[in-house]
Amino acid sequence: MSNRLERFRKEMAAFEGAADPARSVERGHYVPHPKKSLADTIAGRIAIRPSSTHLLIGGIGSGKTTELLIARDRINELEDTYAHYLDVSLEADISQMKPGVLIAIAGVAISELVSETDHENLTTSINIIRKLAYGYKQTIFQNLVNQEYQNPLVTVIDHPGMIPVRPETPLEIKGLQEAINTIKQGVAEKYGTIVLLVDGLDRLYEDELFVELIADVEALSEIGIGVVLVGPIQAAYSKHRSRLENTVNSFSYQPCFDVAKDPDARDFFAKILAVRASEGFLDQSSVDRLILYSGGMLRDLMNLTQSAIEEAYLSGSDNLQPAHVDVAAQSFGRAKVFGISDEAQDTMQRVSTEGKFIPRTEEDIRLLVEGKILEYRYPQMRHAVHPAILPLIKKSKKV
């Protein structure tokens, strides 16, 4: 393998946008926020009120998972509190979620803390949780007796679990709560208060279903378990927002970083690039372009940089140059606008000229969810068309 190929593979790996955020943190790629981060805020709120509940809203790729992982580490510095991160999208089909499923997933996670125990009460509770969560088969033996012979009849009954879900689970939910509470008390001396950091529901697009799942958060809090739940960005604009805010103890929003208006945000993104790229691979002009085209979305920064690295390699260059970034941004922008409706295009054109956007319709909210229109809250509240899309929108308007 040539030195050049080896180097470019290393650069590509460092900017893997879909990589496990936990691995990035372990590799030292985490850069502290320029201002107080959500991780610090969440950890502080849990510290003073361990069994409280918190809802974290934000767009996909805005850095919520990384914040949860850092918050977990901060919380675990406390002697009497244990934070556990879990991604529910890895445990169940989130489009099929029903009330009780979060409790089931939480129960399985908590039961794993005491899987080595020989305590009879805890072992019983662990078995209850796993049966209700994953289901089980029950074998029934019956004896048929006639004049000539005796022969057993075997019947196997399949009891479906809650993961994946089934329509009604009220009795199972009660059983889960009782079993979880027993285990929680059993591990209290070793772990203290348990806090669950629940990720993955930001990909849930049904408002009604998400509101129903909040009942699981309440149920866990009632038995003394803290919960930090990541939710979809549309929850911030849902008609159920007031209900959500009244259900949890805090409601936080992770906006995009305004790299166009906030010097600290630009510096933050520059540091993210610096800790990942090898020395001399990125010049300042390329860095500035990558930050601009990212729109202040962390995942877009990673994906754009990877695409630009690929362009640099294919062009025969030894380093990433501004022209490679421009080509990557054009490709990224075309992919984002592919298939948009005329109405959505008109909306983006209006936002690009007026700088105002009030999401009222489902299509408006979809523009936010898909990152076509970005929301900033610091240094001022504003909306903008994604910078990689903007040239295409303006060109379309001229035509």
**pLDDT recorded at residue 34:** 82
- How many CA atoms are closer than 13 Å to the CA of 315, on its beta-carbon side? 17
**What order of strands is seen across the sheet that includes strand 193-199?**
81-87, 193-199, 226-231, 53-58, 250-254
**C-alpha pair distances (Å), 221 with each of 20, 216, 397:** 28, 9, 52
d(CA 246, CA 241): 9
Q: Which residues pair with 86 in a beta bridge?
A: 198
> Which residue segments constitute the domains of the chain, with CATH numbers given?
1-31+257-398 (no CATH), 34-253 (3.40.50.300)
**pLDDT recorded at residue 395:** 63
CA dihedral for 359, 393, 63, 220, sign (positive or negative): positive
User: For residue 85, what are its two tokens?
Assistant: 């991160």
d(CA 283, CA 11): 14
Strand 250-254 to strand 81-87: parallel, antiparallel, or no bridges (unpaired)? Answer: unpaired
In the predicted model, residues of the chain with pLDDT beneath 70 are 1, 17-20, 115-121, 134, 136-171, 395-399
| DSSP states of 96-138 | G--TTHHHHHHHHHHHGGGTT---HHHHHHHHHHHHHHHEEEE
**pLDDT recorded at residue 52:** 95
Reported pTM: 0.81
**Longest Cα–Cα distance in the chain:** 94
**pLDDT recorded at residue 300:** 95
Rg (CA), the chain: 25
Beta-strand runs (E) in the chain? 53-58, 81-87, 135-145, 150-160, 193-199, 226-231, 250-254, 373-376, 382-385
**pLDDT recorded at residue 176:** 83
**pLDDT recorded at residue 177:** 85
Strand 382-385 to strand 373-376: parallel, antiparallel, or no bridges (unpaired)? Answer: antiparallel
CB atoms within 10 A of CB 16: 14
